[in-house]
Structure 1
């Protein structure tokens, strides 16, 4: 029985680390884009998305050992919504790198 419990604990830890990685990645992506790109993409403000993903990453860190808790699932959902819905819209407006290719005197 101890072997099964250890295996379950390990699986939960792996899920928690994967969830935290997803949440941190969403936070980094939310920070990368300019604040005017969010309304241009038809999404909520940068402050809202950075706050939501930062809180999600904090919840993911605190609940690293229990990724199946209610708040942990909400944190993963917020990160997933950002990565699936908001990030592609931001990339379509501003490009994949978070910056436009146009300098102060136009493009290359």
Structure 2
């Protein structure tokens, strides 16, 4: 019985890490990328993935609620995330250089 308990603990740890990764990934994507990819909004996915993480932390793997959270996390990872990454810039915030002006990079008047 101790081996089964250890297996469930490892499974719960893996699901928690998977849910946390999906939540962090959803948080770093731009809001407009979700609309451009024709997926739900960023707050929608943040709420769903945060609920999945919290339910997984509270209930473990012996309830049906973490399974619902796992399904939501899998949907994000196999459907939403690839659509966001396919956009120009990968759906991440633009990290311009310090010489970028309002209309693009400043080239020193050349």
Q: TM-score range by the shorter chain?
A: 0.7 to 0.9
The counterpart of 2:59, out of the listed 56, 63, 68, is 63
Aligned residues: 100
Q: Distance in 2 between matches of 1:24 and 1:39?
A: 23
Q: What is the TM-score with the length of structure 2 in the denominator?
A: 0.82
Q: Distance in 1 between matches of 2:83 and 2:95?
A: 17
The counterpart of 1:87, out of the listed 81, 84, 94, is 81
Partner of 2:36: 40
Partner of 1:53: 49
User: What's the offset of the Cα at 1:95?
Assistant: 3.0
Point out 4+ residue stretches in structure 1 off by more than 6 angstroms: none
Q: Distance in 2 between matches of 1:50 and 1:6?
A: 36
User: What's the offset of the Cα at 1:75?
Assistant: 0.8
The RMSD of aligned alpha carbons is 1.8
Per-residue CA distance 1:19-77 (angstroms, 9 max, x = gap): 0011001100110111111010010000100000000010111123xx14200111111
Q: Distance in 1 between matches of 2:88 and 2:52?
A: 25
Matched, 1:78 2:72: yes
Which protein has the larger Cα radius of gyration, Structure 1 or Structure 2? 2
**Equivalent position SS for 2:86:** helix
Q: Distance in 1 between matches of 2:58 and 2:9?
A: 12
RCO higher in 1 or 2 (8 Å CA, sep ≥ 6)? 1
Partner of 1:8: 4
User: What's the offset of the Cα at 1:80?
Assistant: 0.7
